[in-house]
Amino acid sequence: MKWNGWGYSDSKFLFNKKGQAEFTGKRYRLSGMVLPSLQDWFENTFGASVNHKSPPTLNASAVPPASLNEAFVEDLKTTGVPFSHEAEDRVFRAHGHCLHEIFALREGKKFERVPDMVVWPNCHNDVVKVVELACKHNVCLIPYGGGTSVTSALECPPEETRCIVSLDTSQMLNESGYCTGHEPDSMEFSSLGGWVATRASGMKKNVYGNIEDLVIHIKVVTPRGVIEKSCQGPRMSTGPDIHHFILGSEGTLGVVTEVTMKIRPIPEYQKYGSVVFPNFEAGVACLREVAKQRCAPASIRLMDNEQFQFGHALKPQVSSIFTNFVEGLKKFYITKFKGFDPHQLVVATLLFEGDRERVLQHEKQVYDIAATFGGLAAGEDNGQRGYILTFVIAYLRDLGMDYYVVAESFETSVPWDRVLDLCRNVKERINRECKERGVQFQPLTSCRVTQTYDAGACIYFYFAFNYRGLADPVHTYEQVEHAAREEILANGGSLSHHHGVGKLRKEWMKESISSLGVGMLQSVKDYVDPDNIFGNRNLL
């Protein structure tokens, strides 16, 4: 894994000596391919230059020395649970993947606070032992799953004076060989316990559900003991569901050690597809109708024009003259014969799963709906490429940072009747805030409508800008992102659809769930963890 960016160390975007972009490694479908349009898009969009590079540096002296609780360490040795207080192990678990966290790593900036040690429990009983010892010796525990948090949830509170232990549950994962259908963008690296703790959502939730729909039973180790239900029945009427105290608790109450989930056979048949619409309004109207008729495929995602242009820049080089000819014909048909404006059109990517006959019926139903909103079928290849790009898109932020471009994404959920206003107003707010803060080149702002519901949808925003000339680009970004979140809330959007709250967004919790709601959460925290052993200070 990379120490200063996303994913595997052998997988990354780069500009080669021929001035072409390529994606290295062998792990992804895009690996080893040349992307001939990416450099021009990158330079033209951001005013950046591949001749101006900002390489990352590693500053080992930036890691503060470990402050160990020796009595805790001595007792821990008797349990046989592996642990480490090496600087590299501690730094790797001191952060998630917020922009400011990765930027600090790349710039070699001094860490204010990192875990003092890391422990690796192998099973539920190991976790019980570690938690009991933490309570005995007043040690602060911060659960660590896959490290993919984008809410500052893994950062150590700088005011914490106790020994901080990162409780890494990565050695507790098991493979079942079945399909759960839960596929978040971070699926390769995130953990099951993390999905539960953050109320996660995946790309195929339309068929399989969100994490709360998939969970049957949870076992959690807390300072007061183990929380679990008495049975694993499909439904119980025994007061408020205690699972909902755990779902979204973000490591503030304890450690999720065991989860029973619904599983299904791997689908017999899978088919990708895509639809091009003349404009964003038509695409949103189509997705709303698909949701209304409850016929959404496993995945349906609508990219605005900016994301469409970006996706086009990521098309790999093709060796076949015939393929180039066919692509040219498609473009001519859509833009010239049908009259779609290349600067207005949008694309929805589709993924159908199930038995073959039902998939084909389902596919026809969705395409028939799309046609009523002016949509044209745009082929399986575009749909498959759009879906697969999801797993490599995070690697692009690292490429941008190499050339003075910062980028980030954030999400929300919103009622259908507010989708268009929210998308337009948030984009305008981002552009206005960037200009007021001295960003010299027009930022890229884009959005996509993703998971759909009867009452609304999840919207993902992306924005990036060239930070050359800015004294503190991270602070500029954080000001803009803060303003964008205010705009989202003002336009009827939620604080988060699936990323969670962490420390990054907790200032808005009272506005989101009321003061009384925050008080209820605080009461649970005070009862379950009176000494704040799980002291990451997320949510509250």
Residue 32 in this model has a pLDDT that exceeds 60: yes
Report whether 254 belongs to an annotated binding site.
yes
Closest CA relative to residue 250, chosen from 443, 479, 496, 511: 496
Query: Could you read off the pLDDT of 108-136 as tens digits, one per residue?
Result: 888 889 999 999 999 999 999 999 999 99
Work out the average pLDDT over 8-19.
90
Residue 59 in this model has a pLDDT that exceeds 80: no
Tokens of 320: 């076949």
- Single out the catalytic residue among 208, 395, 403, 460: 460
Q: Strand 164-168 vs strand 444-452: parallel, antiparallel, or unpaired?
A: unpaired
pLDDT of residue 172: 81
Query: Could you read off the pLDDT of 271-329 as tens digits, one per residue?
Result: 999 999 999 999 999 999 999 999 999 999 999 999 988 988 888 876 544 445 445 54
Query: Could you read off the pLDDT of 508-540 as tens digits, one per residue?
Result: 999 999 999 999 999 999 999 999 999 999 999
Closest CA relative to residue 235, chosen from 210, 213, 207: 213
Report whether 514 belongs to an annotated binding site.
no
Report whether 143 belongs to an annotated binding site.
yes
Work out the average pLDDT over 257-273.
92
Query: Could you read off the pLDDT of 439-458 as tens digits, one per residue?
Result: 988 899 999 999 999 999 99
pLDDT of residue 58: 62
Query: Could you read off the pLDDT of 194-220 as tens digits, one per residue?
Result: 999 999 999 999 999 999 999 999 999
pLDDT of residue 334: 72
pLDDT band at 152 (very low <50, low <70, confident <90, very high): very high
Tokens of 159: 């005011």
Report whether 342 belongs to an annotated binding site.
no
Work out the average pLDDT over 209-238.
94
Report whether 45 belongs to an annotated binding site.
no
| Percentage of the chain lying above the pLDDT 90 cut | 76
**Where along the chain do its domains lie?**
70-264, 269-491
Report whether 25 belongs to an annotated binding site.
no
pLDDT of residue 112: 87
pLDDT of residue 339: 82
Residue 338 in this model has a pLDDT that exceeds 80: no
Active site residue 28: no
Q: In what order do the strands lie in the sheet with 13-15?
A: 13-15, 21-23, 34-35
Q: Distance (Å, rounded) from C-alpha 502 to C-alpha 484?
A: 18
Tokens of 59: 């500053």
Q: Which of 193-202, 333-342, 360-369 is predicted with the least confidence, judged by mean pLDDT?
A: 333-342
Query: Could you read off the pLDDT of 65-100 as tens digits, one per residue?
Result: 999 999 999 999 999 999 999 998 999 999 999 999
Q: Which of 241-245, 350-354, 439-443 is predicted with the least confidence, judged by mean pLDDT?
A: 439-443
pLDDT band at 501 (very low <50, low <70, confident <90, very high): very high
Tokens of 381: 């290849």
Q: Which residue, chain included where needed, has tokens 């805030």?
A: 433
Work out the average pLDDT over 490-498.
97
The CATH T-level fold of domain 70-264 is: 3.30.465
Q: Distance (Å, rounded) from C-alpha 465 to C-alpha 99?
A: 13
Quick check: do 70-264 and 269-491 share a fold? no
Residue 4 in this model has a pLDDT that exceeds 60: yes
pLDDT of residue 2: 86
Q: Strand 215-222 vs strand 225-227: parallel, antiparallel, or unpaired?
A: antiparallel
Query: Could you read off the pLDDT of 383-415 as tens digits, one per residue?
Result: 888 888 888 889 999 999 999 999 999 999 999
Report whether 301 belongs to an annotated binding site.
no
| pTM for the structure as a whole | 0.92
Would you say 194 and 246 are in contact if contact means Cβ atoms under 8 Å apart? no
Report whether 250 belongs to an annotated binding site.
yes
Closest CA relative to residue 467, chosen from 134, 124, 18, 46: 46
pLDDT of residue 204: 92
Classified as helix, coil or strand, 456 is strand
Closest CA relative to residue 249, chosen from 169, 143, 148: 143
Report whether 252 belongs to an annotated binding site.
yes
Write the CA distances from 109 to 96, 143, 303, 402, 512, integer angstroms: 16, 24, 36, 17, 34
Closest CA relative to residue 167, chosen from 274, 90, 65: 90
- Of 185 and 495, the one with more pLDDT: 495
Report whether 198 belongs to an annotated binding site.
yes
Cα Rg of the chain, angstroms: 24
pLDDT of residue 319: 54
Report whether 450 belongs to an annotated binding site.
no
Report whether 256 belongs to an annotated binding site.
yes
Amino acid occupying residue 148: T
Q: Strand 299-303 vs strand 346-354: parallel, antiparallel, or unpaired?
A: antiparallel
Report whether 144 belongs to an annotated binding site.
yes
pLDDT of residue 173: 65
Closest CA relative to residue 48, chosen from 319, 373, 401: 401
pLDDT band at 330 (very low <50, low <70, confident <90, very high): low
What rounded mean pLDDT belongs to the chain? Answer: 91
Tokens of 32: 């080893």
Closest CA relative to residue 120, chosen from 193, 170, 164: 170
Q: Distance (Å, rounded) from C-alpha 58 to C-alpha 53?
A: 16
Report whether 237 belongs to an annotated binding site.
no
Q: Distance (Å, rounded) from C-alpha 8 to C-alpha 42?
A: 23
Q: Write down the CATH number for the domain with range 269-491.
A: 3.40.462.40
